[in-house]
Structure 1
């Protein structure tokens, strides 16, 4: 293993790819943006690009499409980047002053090169690297770039570093650590020379010779997806570290992971005394009260200043309460600012001492109170925060108008408002009564009137668009929602019959409070997703607070009614079970790899696999994970993407990105249930009081696959044990703890069909830790909203080899010593 790690590091440091040779004396002019030094594959170039400030230009290495991955600095239009004959690479502005220099003069530099990975290097006469942009990064790390201890990404006051312990840290002003990502708890050792590397599949790992395998630090939400995707890590000027993805030739970069989930918890984001909060458009910055004014009105991120300094009002100070607000406190401030005080005592001590400008009682049961000293104060406001912080001001304390307008309004103004409201409401009620009376007199017996919109809806349906129904129409066709077919995480389903005698399933959605436009867009996306093994969406209703979806009716209900039923008349033979497993997998493959937008289902389970009149399986409820109230969830930093006990992948509970591989885990559990006819989380005497999935793996290792098979099929002559063994192996590959070790659904289909080889899977470590929370099988699990990717852009995936690190890791974990899965 040590040899593999040495080879990995050598491959990073030794460049075997082709590179462009740039001779001494070469120059790029800021006035000529079309002149550049390009890599042999034309993906990267050294050139000047327009900077943020008007009239200035950035000397940079850029990826195809204009994405900057390294920069030397900005100059005016008279500036130039020169590779001097003395060996230095120097950036000079129009006045001739040096803006940046590589510091390599007299070190024997003979040329420069730009290789196909984007590394700009200065080489000596023996073609050895003297200086390189990869060793001196600015704010970006690209795929396969080796980021080691001592290197720093910087953006304004923010910096990102890898510590000797293997931890990843974000700092403000080189002092306050506001994000610290440690290694997996299973890696508990001192590291010798750790390196942080973003791999091409979107997995960022920490390598070290003391680790038996790479420690996966973070996942990009689209990891493993797409063959033409360029990913990079960037420290943005807002202090957040993100992984971005971009296609070659495109200028759009899409964020796929962020270190700090809540942007307002980035220290100093809104400057000194600035308070970060949210509106409908995202983060905004404001001053604590009217006792403060912005430093720059046009840039609230610069912070605020006091109208009257505390030194100018000694003896006349007051503590002004700020509801749902917390002043951020991170290491190393914690030890010097934390006290155990009650709320009143916390405020009084701050008011009485000149050492304090704000008090922050945590209000979380800890009893801690933070007293903020004079200096830099960074605030965060959220309706979900229980804290009421207080800030010291010169009297009188003046709350923000946005918080105190109602209090400042006098009774006469309130009375005028109420009069206007009453008049408007009375007028509207009068118009409604008049309109209702006219309809009652003229149209109550007109049958055509009630079916007109429904007929128009069927014209839309025939054209391929989702039909739009009124709430009243769906009430009528379901007989006031009388015949209930079932209920799930997103709502209740009722049987209905349209005017053309078509039987449908009407789902009343719950917890869906999106705006009209966004809801219709999501419905259009779902309705355009057509596959033999997907339930088709016929139409919808979006009327006031009512949100309903109309689906084709599945005569035989859901798969769980057959798998777990004691009714012998519902027993599925082996051929049917195998076909259902294969058809379900094909439906999920379409969602993940073949439709225009990659759709992660988030709730694969037998209840969401429906059977038509021919017992063909169809996946339902796909795309519903996006139809949720993101505004509310953003305020509480949660997402209502729901999963079901027993089918949740470990990343749901470990605060890791939710991707298509999360669906693979759920499908693996369903596959095990199709074989066994038992819930994967069932516990019985037969399984020695262990979860069935754990017991099943133990029997599988013993070679007793027959024990896992549904006992009701023992007399069924259609059982093909080769298929049983194949499905059991696939299920245990699907439920591996590490998402990168699970196969893609396309690979699962090929394995089910016998096209792809299936090696013996290693022990699924996560079986004992996940999916055992309570007894309600429909219990929901919530996860951080930025971690879910339900409609990330994706292209059909082709088979590719697992990385060497993942394959070797799976091999080591394999109790039987066999090789791991060959392709994802």
Structure 2
């Protein structure tokens, strides 16, 4: 039995017994009867990896008993005993009784926490090399272990699942905050109904779902098949069902943790002195449970995330237009089971629907599975239960609603959805089945179904035409912009924007860029950023339309979200999600605010921008070259999460197109690559150049266009190159960081920045390679070649020239001083 508090009737007994245990504790990894562990002393596992003792989390002064990594300077707690009952002082003692009970008490004998396992012979509690704290007896069996009672962390060899005999599950619960390990709002637990899967809850509301285990991965985590460092397995038998992971290289430390903000993260410890984020969930809106409602699919690569399954239509068409998808979809044509006029359509690369109520047959093949679904009129869909090395095994059959389906780019499984024959069509790979009936009757049924479908579509087209003839001025403007047919981007009336920004009041003004001023507003109860095209702006209708057409198609946590737009006369307005911390340049180039950017925050911003750029260049369904990546176009959301913004100058290129060319060179000097500024040639490598400049600015806290050497007139890139060649790269690091940064990691980032700003585009790495470089060893990186950098012209009065003409810039390669 495991308890946080114990009954008051037992307090007298414990208070009488415990004082006899208060003698000097022994060192080592074990706690034995008669040798308690007082606050200030510790147990250490035999391999030195884990430590157990009293600690105070964060800024708290309360004392808890916990387990953390012994050799890591950043205290990382992986288990807490008395989560809800801390001690107020340092008089606490952890002890084990003669019967194997564990107790946390104070000097007065008050018990704050107890674990009372079955009584073993000659009990001892040992901190094992796995991080497990276990009570065992002379026979060696575990009477109690911390692995059976996790807090917020999963370690290698820890089983997370259910014991079918006792029906007990092993759940994770988040901390309330970094200062309070008491159970927070979020729970990660295994769902034992149907085909087992794991869920993330906030209170009682489902937030995220892993999907069922389908042989080599969870259906909702397809990237698990690419995990090279881990051995992953899911075991399900008559006794238990559980998931666990182990490390192929035991010298690598990794953990799964449920953070206080409700994000499940897999972290890996880097020798440079920090935890690296390897995986997390929820990753995007499509990861949120049931985001699109029943019988709908979510696709994060599309501008409109939700779409109905084939053969289904929105349950609430008006809400669907407003991007309120929670009602999901309904069948376009009813399935009449008795007639036999139905079949299946295959949904590929899918996260399988919620399997809580699924029927599962482990021994069926796919043909048997399809036949079983056909015979059952309530069967809505079927899929393979497992796919191992491309071979399908077992059968899953859903009845009722299909909920929480999403589509992946190149992974996921196959789901076969039952449809009326009229809705099946000629879908490739969609298996059909008609009950054996005379050929003439079958043909007649098919013709009737097709005729019914044709008439329904005709009536629908007539209704659409009637609505079009009564369109509003706003809809007419949408047609004029040519955005509605492709994007379905919400249009807002100008009076609504004026009301949201208090008539564009100066008090609501957030800043101003090349496009025009940006205002804070409250629109439909949500904080937004309103970007208004200035009449004097050099960015006109083309740039406005470019930004609308490009960013509306994008969905990524490191890209700013476009919520809508407004066109009214000469007014052209874009509405974005509000970023509470503003732009990155206001932090790194202002000494006071730069103090808020410690190294871990800077590194997280750098890698976040890299992931956003990787999405633009490679992972989105469009290949996009930003052309104006700079510090002021990186906005900071909650948690200082970076988001790339301002796509007015972006270009969409074919997936196989290497570069483009323009006669009109636009962008920001200091971030432009040499080939773009001089020849108008842009490519993904010109974005990499801009990113390299941004990396060097983040590390140094200096602008690239500033002059640092009056003799050589070098900018930041040139100065960083010379310092690196002379072995003085530490001088590049922002002095506001002091000595509180991992030197090896900072120097690696400087080297990556210099690799990105090399003069020749072919020498610069792809952004995919850059992302991998941040997680690799600095010594394995190639040696940078000389950069293409800007020599700043000096005006007669000694000030630098700030002209916006390309002719005022000289690009060259430099050697060491």
TM-score range, shorter chain: 0.3 to 0.5
Q: Given the two structures, how large is their TM-score scaled by the length of structure 1?
A: 0.35
Higher relative contact order (CA 8 A, sep 6+): 1
Q: Given the two structures, how large is their TM-score scaled by the length of structure 2?
A: 0.35
